[in-house]
């Protein structure tokens, strides 16, 4: 199937570990007229990279978008081996143990790294990259072609924790913790990065009433998203005391597309702890400018989103209900 370009829309490559909230990010992007999803690469995180690709293809097919190329990316992080995803959060198959209708589609033959590099040439200067899983593919792409940043408009990353506690250790967030070496390489590369950390993604939640609205949408994809969210909302009862969920990956997607905007997003130096100590995976964001209104730090290429201008959930629901 050939990909038909959306005229006037920004080309976007999504790198993900699909994943319940990755599914929401994917769906949001498909429903966003501002952007044209030109390719998806998968990486191990919530689930193995191959299963993530199957999930992605199944979701794309339900949305009638089997034309979007999906490439399997890195199975293992740069240092070490993938130990399996958190089945109690994303299910044994990554999509909440829901059996999505199989698309019958196959990933493209090229790797996620090759897909990203090819798209960066085809859309040089325009391509927007959104990464909502471990950063292995991006780091490998940088290794393979260090000139990549010169062809990418910007990079939006769901990951890290600035002032918020971590979610897999006291200081580390899962996407960064799953491949700190990759995150260190990506965050020190010569491109503009918007980091969307737990500080903002734990703030806006999707409620059980929203999930019910998805179930009852009467459209092709939204009811399946409602099914996929069931286990995830159950997991978050321990965190929030009720059935609802954080919106990590769709918030990164919405910030990339401009559906919500950063309200407080200091441009500061960010260092990733890739030591073997208790700080491994921490994103050390230099927020010492707090009391001076966060002046831009000379040479810093990373904006760390600490507040957004509007809640995501209503906007997200509006778009998801169209699919």
Interface with Ca ion by CB under 5 A: which residues? Answer: 17, 19, 22, 132-133, 249
- Tell me, yes or no, if 76 is annotated catalytic: no
Which partner, ligand BDR, Ca ion, none, binds residue 114 by CB below 5 to 8 Å per kind? none
Contact (Cβ atoms closer than 8 angstroms) between residue 43 and residue 112: yes
Which partner, ligand BDR, Ca ion, none, binds residue 136 by CB below 5 to 8 Å per kind? none
The closest residue (CB) to ligand BDR is 174
Interaction between residue 167 and ligand BDR (CB under 6 A): yes
Which residue from 91, 87, 93 is spatially nearest to 230, judged by alpha carbons?
A: 91
* Part of the chain binding ligand BDR (CB under 6 A), chosen from 5-13, 53-61, 169-177, 211-219: 169-177
201-9-22 Cα angle (round to 5): 30
Q: Which of 151, 211, 248, 301 binds ligand BDR (CB under 6 A)?
A: 248
Q: Which residues contact 132 (CB under 8 A, 6 or more apart)?
A: 14, 15, 16, 17, 19, 21, 22, 25, 157, 158, 175, 248, 249, 252, 253
Q: At what angle do helices 222-235 and 20-30 cross, to 10 degrees?
A: 150
- Pairing mode of beta strands 193-196, 152-158: parallel
Which residue from 57, 69, 65, 56 is spatially nearest to 110, judged by alpha carbons?
A: 69
Interaction between residue 39 and ligand BDR (CB under 6 A): no
Cβ-based nearer residue to ligand BDR, 47 or 63: 47
Which partner, Ca ion, ligand BDR, none, binds residue 174 by CB below 5 to 8 Å per kind? ligand BDR
CB of 178 to ligand BDR, least distance (A): 8
Interaction between residue 173 and ligand BDR (CB under 6 A): yes
Contact (Cβ atoms closer than 8 angstroms) between residue 243 and residue 233: yes
Interaction between residue 22 and ligand BDR (CB under 6 A): yes
Contact (Cβ atoms closer than 8 angstroms) between residue 170 and residue 291: no
Interaction between residue 182 and ligand BDR (CB under 6 A): no
- Sign for the pseudo-dihedral over CA of 184, 185, 188, 194: negative
Q: Which of 14, 15, 21, 266 binds ligand BDR (CB under 6 A)?
A: 21
User: For residues 78 and 50, what is the distance between their CA atoms, to the nearest angstrom?
Assistant: 17
Helix or strand (DSSP H, E) at 129: strand 127-131
Q: Which of 32, 46, 55, 137 binds ligand BDR (CB under 6 A)?
A: 46
- Tell me, yes or no, if 17 is annotated catalytic: yes
Q: Which of 74, 132, 195, 247 binds ligand BDR (CB under 6 A)?
A: 132
Contact (Cβ atoms closer than 8 angstroms) between residue 271 and residue 162: no
CB of 160 to ligand BDR, least distance (A): 9
Cβ-based nearer residue to ligand BDR, 114 or 161: 161
**Active-site pick, 21, 36, 90, 248:** 248
Interaction between residue 93 and ligand BDR (CB under 6 A): no
Interaction between residue 249 and ligand BDR (CB under 6 A): yes
Residues 24-33 as b or e (16 or more Cβ within 10 Å = b): bbbbbbbbbe
Residues lying near ligand BDR in the complex (CB under 6 A) are found at 19, 21-22, 45-46, 132-133, 158, 167, 173-175, 248-249
Which residues does the annotation mark as catalytic?
Answer: 17, 248
């Amino acid at each position: 199937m050939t990909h038909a370009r959306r005229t006037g829309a920004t080309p976007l490559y999504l790198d993900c570990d699909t994943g319940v909230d990755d599914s929401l990010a994917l769906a949001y992007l498909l429903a966003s007229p501002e952007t044209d999803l030109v390719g998806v690469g998968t990486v191990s995180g919530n689930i193995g990279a191959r299963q993530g690709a199957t999930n992605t293809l199944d979701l794309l097919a339900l949305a009638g978008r089997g034309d979007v190329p999906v490439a399997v990316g890195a199975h293992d992080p740069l240092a070490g081996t993938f130990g399996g995803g958190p089945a109690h959060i994303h299910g044994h198959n990554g999509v909440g143990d829901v059996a999505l209708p199989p698309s019958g589609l196959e990933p493209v033959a090229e790797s996620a790294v090759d897909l990203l590099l090819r798209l960066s040439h085809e859309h040089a200067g325009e391509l927007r990259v959104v990464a909502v899983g471990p950063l292995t593919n991006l780091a490998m792409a940088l290794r393979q072609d260090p000139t990549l940043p010169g062809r990418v408009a910007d990079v939006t990353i769901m990951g890290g924790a600035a002032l918020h506690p971590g979610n897999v250790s006291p200081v580390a967030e899962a996407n960064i913790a799953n491949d700190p070496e990759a995150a260190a390489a990506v965050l020190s590369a010569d491109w503009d990065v918007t980091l969307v950390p737990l500080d903002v993604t734990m703030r806006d939640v999707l409620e059980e009433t929203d999930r019910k609205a998805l179930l009852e949408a009467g459209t092709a994809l939204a009811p399946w998203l409602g099914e996929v969210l069931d286990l995830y909302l159950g997991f978050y009862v321990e965190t929030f005391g009720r059935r609802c969920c954080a919106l990590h990956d769709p918030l990164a997607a919405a910030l990339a597309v401009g559906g919500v905007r950063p309200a407080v997003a200091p441009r500061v130096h960010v260092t990733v702890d890739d030591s073997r100590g208790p700080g491994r995976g921490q994103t050390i964001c230099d927020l010492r400018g707090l009391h001076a209104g966060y002046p831009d730090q000379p040479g810093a290429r990373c904006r760390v989103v600490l507040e957004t201008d509007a809640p995501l959930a209503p906007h997200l629901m509006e778009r998801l209900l169209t699919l």
